[in-house]
Amino acid sequence: MTRRSLLSLTAGITIVVLAACATGPQPSAYRLTPDGAKEFALRMDQGNFWPSSISVNQGDRVRFVIQSYYQFAQFSFPQFNLNRQIPHDAPETVEFVATERGWFSFYGYVSSPVAAARLTLAAFGGGLDGSDLTIQGRLTVH
């Protein structure tokens, strides 16, 4: 392979990589329900929300089906007046309409008495005794 063809190959790869990067963030995975809501499976685990960033359009009816892997979890979304305790053994559903454009933070307040989780909680900013942790996610409304 000549130096010129190698440079052409490298330039072609660079263009492909830049084109892939230029597409922007991928849309959040959701299920469109028969009643028209965009339903997202939201998991509270390992010191985070999974997914931690969700995008919808203004006017969308949004449904979060929240599963917590903590002994105690509280879900709070102040901009949409949502505050719900999430049971450890079953998912909890919250629903709202994305009425305004912008970025909005939602929060999880969690605790677990499990000794192994204490190290994880401390690593993510919880108390040294593993008693509590605040996690945060973000909703972007276009």
Is the pLDDT confidence value at 103 over 50? yes
What pLDDT, on a 0 to 100 scale, did the predictor assign at position 112?
A: 61
Domains and CATH numbers, the chain: 30-141 (2.60.40.420)
Percent over 70 (pLDDT), the chain: 65
Cβ contacts of 108 within 8 Å, gap of 6 or more: 44, 49, 68, 73, 74, 75, 76, 86, 134, 135, 136, 137
pTM, 2 dp: 0.69
Residue 103 contacts residue 72 (beta carbons within 8 Å): no
- Residue 79: pLDDT band (50, 70, 90) is very high
What pLDDT, on a 0 to 100 scale, did the predictor assign at position 133?
A: 83
Is the pLDDT confidence value at 82 over 50? yes
